[in-house]
Amino acid sequence: MEYPSKLIEEAVTEVSKLPGIGKKTALRLVLHLIKENETRTLMLAEALTKLRTNIRFCKICFNISDETECTICRSHKRDHSIICVVEESNDVMAIENTAQYSGVYHVLGGVISPINGIGPTDLKIEQLVQRIAQHKSEIKEVILALSPTLEGDTTAFYINRKLKEMNVKVTSIARGVPVGGNLEYTDEITLGRSITARVLFD
C-alpha cells in the first residue's frame, strides 16, 4: 500500500513490528492517533520511552521491578520458603491474580527451546540453583509453574535434575481438566493425566 506521507509510513512500519499487529491494524492505530489530541500521542510515546529506559529487574527473582528488589521479594508478608518458578513476568501477574499463593517467585525469562536457539544458559536457571544453594536451610519447596508444553516440560525436567542433588522438595502445578471445561472437549492427553493424577474427593 502507498501511504500519503512518509511520517505515516515510518509510524506504520514501527507499530507493525509489534506482535499480532499487521500493517492494516497499524495504519488504523496511526490514523487514530492523528485524529486525536496531540498530547495523547506524546504521552504514549513518553510512557514507552520511560518504560524501556527505566525498567529494572529484581536482582533476586528477575521479575519486572521499579527498584533493585521487587515488591514481592521485599515483602515480609510473603513466605520466602516457597519459590514458584515461572517463565515470564506475566505468569507472576496471573498467579498473583488468583490470590492463592503467598510464596515468592523466580522468573526464568523463557523456556528451553532448541528450535529458537534458547538453551539453559540463556535462562535464569543457574541463578535459581545459586539462590537455593545460598538459602538452602530456609527453602522448603520449589514449585515449577511452567507451561504444559514440550518446551515447558523439558525445562521442568532440566531444573528438577539440577535441584535433585540439593535435596529440596520440587513440585509441579496440577494438570488436569480446566475448571468450567467440558470433559467431552478435553483432549485425550489432558484427560488421561487428570485420571492418573486423580486426588481424593473431600
Q: Which residues are at the interface with a second copy (CB under 8 A)?
A: 1-8, 10-11, 13-15, 17-21, 25, 27-35, 38, 40-55, 63-66, 70-72, 88-90, 92-93, 96-97, 109
Closer to a second copy at the Cβ: 7 or 195? Answer: 7
Closer to a second copy at the Cβ: 72 or 143? Answer: 72
Closer to a second copy at the Cβ: 18 or 197? Answer: 18
User: 82 in helix, strand or coil?
Assistant: strand
Query: Please, what is the minimum distance in Å from the beta carbon of residue 111 to a second copy?
Result: 13
Q: Which helix (H) or strand (E) holds 107?
A: strand 103-107
Query: Please, what is the minimum distance in Å from the beta carbon of residue 182 to a second copy?
Result: 24
Query: Please, what is the minimum distance in Å from the beta carbon of residue 136 to a second copy?
Result: 27
Query: Please, what is the minimum distance in Å from the beta carbon of residue 161 to a second copy?
Result: 27
Q: Which helix (H) or strand (E) holds 106?
A: strand 103-107
Query: Please, what is the minimum distance in Å from the beta carbon of residue 64 to a second copy?
Result: 5
Closer to a second copy at the Cβ: 56 or 169? Answer: 56
What is the per-residue DSSP string for 148-201? SSHHHHHHHHHHHHHHHTTT-EEEE---SSPTT--GGGS-HHHHHHHHHT----
Separation between Cα atoms, residue 85 and residue 13, nearest integer Å: 36
Closer to a second copy at the Cβ: 19 or 180? Answer: 19
Separation between Cα atoms, residue 14 and residue 26, nearest integer Å: 9
